């Protein structure tokens, strides 16, 4: 298998390819892989395979024993190069990066496909779908996000990799995608929600996009964002000692890939955490995030600005819930996901008095 080709099937993985890519990456300095075992895992948006590697006696290098091969193809709604860049370009110069080591990756625009070969951390880390968030956990994620956000903080740094703060067209496209689900969603749940929610939702789509556009006039606060900091994309050490890892940056073609860094904090808490936990922990977690931004060299970004930006970004969790309702089949099938998200996001909207953003 040519090391420059995209892997689309585990049958393409063989000893020659593994030896070539690990040697090329510097993980295998001398000697060879003499055996490997591969196992496919269930996944919604990709093919995922675990690979256990055996090396000949005397081999030297990092010699990773457990690898994960992620193969994506066929869904052009994802921005294929983003995840490859996430693992191979964006943070390779960031010391102690909270990103798993990647040994090989390739992508193709036409046809859409890519693969990523990286460390399998399942022996030492777990995702957080079944974890009750704690203050320590939230602060650990905040520190990891501050590290990657500070690395690309501001328009000048972003420009070095061809990224820009989104313009009006990009923001309107992002909002319009979700807005297509608003009326169908209201048709499903209008009898289940307070009339004040309906009025608030209509006002959000009327006023919030303009405030997003207005916010881009000041470049402080903007960076590369992850945009999907859900519990499954946060890996925590099983023994509670060690660092957090952030995985799976897969934006859609309508997503905002550069935006306010604190939006990743809002995404983590507002529509994934139970309301009482968000209420109890959000200020200390935001403090931790702000303090770490400063420690990583960010200047001129005040606490007051961060709180404003957090409120602006918290509203976007409402868009996340409504986006599930754009297509009829998904709206009906996934109501168990989007309705609780909407309820928690709307509660945060009122808790944080977000409507004051357009009453100023």
Residue 212: the pLDDT is 98
Say what the pLDDT of residue 346 is: 96
For residue 76, pLDDT over 60 is answered with no
CB 114 within 8 A of CB 107: yes
Beta strands in 56-183 (DSSP E): 66-73, 102-108, 113-119, 125-126
pTM of the model: 0.95
The C-alpha atoms of residue 278 and residue 134 are separated, in whole angstroms, by 10
Domains 10-119 and 127-358 alike in fold: no
Question: What's the mean pLDDT when you consider all of the chain?
Answer: 94
Q: At 91, which helix (H) or strand (E)?
A: none
pLDDT confidence of residue 79: 65
CATH no. for 127-358? 3.90.1200
Dihedral sign (CA 278, 282, 288, 290): positive
Domain spans of the chain, in order of start: 10-119, 127-358
Across residues 182-210, what is the average pLDDT? Answer: 93
> With bands split at pLDDT 50, 70 and 90, how would you rate the model's confidence at 147?
very high
User: CB-based burial of residue 217 (10 Å sphere; 0-12 exposed, 13-18 middle, 19+ buried)?
Assistant: exposed
Residue 240's pLDDT is 82
pLDDT of the residue at 81: 85
Domain formed by 10-119, architecture: 2-Layer Sandwich (3.30)
């Amino acid at each position: 298998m040519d090391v420059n080709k995209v892997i689309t099937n585990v049958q393409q993985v063989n000893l020659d390819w593994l030896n070539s890519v690990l040697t090329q990456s510097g993980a295998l300095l001398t000697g060879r892989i003499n055996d490997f075992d591969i196992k496919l895992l269930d996944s919604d948006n990709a093919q995922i395979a675990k690979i256990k590697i055996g090396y000949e006696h005397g081999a030297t290098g990092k010699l990773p024993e457990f690898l994960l091969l992620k193969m994506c193809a066929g869904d052009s709604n994802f921005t294929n190069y983003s995840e490859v860049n996430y693992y191979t370009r964006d943070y390779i110069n960031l010391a102690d990066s909270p990103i798993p080591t990647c040994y090989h990756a390739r992508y193709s625009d036409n046809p859409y496909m890519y693969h990523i070969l990286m460390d399998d951390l399942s022996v030492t880390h777990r995702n957080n779908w079944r974890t009750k968030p704690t203050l320590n956990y939230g602060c650990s994620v905040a520190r990891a996000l501050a590290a990657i956000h500070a690395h690309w903080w501001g328009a000048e740094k972003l420009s070095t990799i061809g990224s820009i703060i989104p313009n009006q067209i990009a923001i309107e496209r992002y909002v319009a995608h979700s807005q297509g689900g608003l009326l169908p969603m209201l048709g499903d749940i209008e009898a289940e929600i307070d009339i004040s929610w309906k009025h608030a939702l209509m006002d959000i789509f009327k006023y919030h996009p303009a405030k997003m556009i207005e916010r881009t006039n000041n470049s402080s606060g903007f960076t590369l964002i992850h945009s999907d900091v859900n519990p499954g994309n946060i890996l925590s050490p099983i023994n509670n000692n060690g660092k957090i890892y952030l995985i799976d940056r897969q934006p859609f073609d309508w997503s905002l890939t550069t935006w306010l860094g604190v939006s990743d904090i809002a995404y983590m808490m507002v529509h994934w955490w139970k309301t009482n936990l968000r209420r109890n922990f959000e200020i200390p977690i935001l403090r931790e995030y702000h303090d770490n931004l400063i420690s990583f060299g960010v200047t001129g970004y005040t606490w007051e600005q961060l709180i404003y930006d957090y409120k602006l970004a918290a509203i976007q969790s409402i868009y996340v819930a409504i986006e599930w309702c754009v297509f009829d089949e998904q709206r009906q099938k996934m109501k168990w996901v989007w309705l609780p998200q909407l309820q928690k996001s709307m509660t945060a909207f009122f808790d944080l008095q977000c409507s004051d953003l357009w009453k100023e």
